[in-house]
Structure 1
Amino acid sequence: MPMSDEERRLLKELEMGLIVDDPHLAMELLSGYPARRLPAGLFPGMAAALIGAVLILAGAGIPAPGAVVLGILLLGLGACLLLGPTVLARSARRQHTG
């Protein structure tokens, strides 16, 4: 069943509203190529955080303060990589404007 003129007009209005509200999503949908959904630092961040957590637990089990400090640093690095530059940049923007 073909669309009526009213339905075509409403669809065009929705499309224009999407382009205005979220141009990145609109371009992605129009191009037909979905954007990468996984953050770039996902796997290195997970690895660093996991190794850091293991070092913290191992350093706490045996008296090794150097391992605990290294574990904390790796855990922090992993968190930064997992959050990615977009979350960190958004946080920095809020601090400058607020």
Structure 2
Amino acid sequence: MPMSDEERRLLKELELGLIADDPHLAMELLSGYPTRRFPAGLFPGIAAALIGLVLVLAGAGIPAPGAVVLGILLLGLGACLLLGSTVLARSAGRQPTG
């Protein structure tokens, strides 16, 4: 069923209102390629840090120095992934100067 002229007019007004209110979202929707909402290393970084924290705490509770060392390494890896993803996300938003 084709749209009436009134429906087309209302749809055009909604589209123009969206472009005026949030041009970035409008460009994402029109291009068909939405940007990522979360940095790429966010979830693996959080998972590595949490597993590392559990290993450190478990290794400290029972005499297991290997678990503590592995936990510290995983905490470091998680921190690197988290910090690296936030640095990349910030630099991707900036335009190069010069």
**Pairwise TM-score range, normalised by the shorter structure:** 0.5 to 0.7
Over 4 Å off, 4+ runs:
none
Using structure 2 for the length normalisation, give the TM-score.
Answer: 0.55
User: Aligned partners of 2:46, 2:16: CA distance in 1, in Å?
Assistant: 38
Task: After superposition, give the CA deviation of every residue in 1:46-95 in whole Å (9 maximum; x if it has no partner).
Answer: 2122122221222123387xx4xx75xx39x65x929x74xxx9xxxxxx
Q: Percent identity?
A: 55
Aligned counterparts of 1:32 and 1:21: Cα–Cα separation in 2: 19
| Gaps in structure 2 of 5+ consecutive residues | 91-98
Bigger fraction of residues in helix: 1
Equivalence for 2:58? 57
Distance 1:54 1:15, change over 3 A: same
Query: Alpha carbon RMSD of aligned pairs, Å?
Result: 3.4
Query: Equivalent residue for 1:30?
Result: 30
Q: What TM-score do the two structures reach when normalised by structure 1?
A: 0.55
- Counting matched residue pairs gives 79
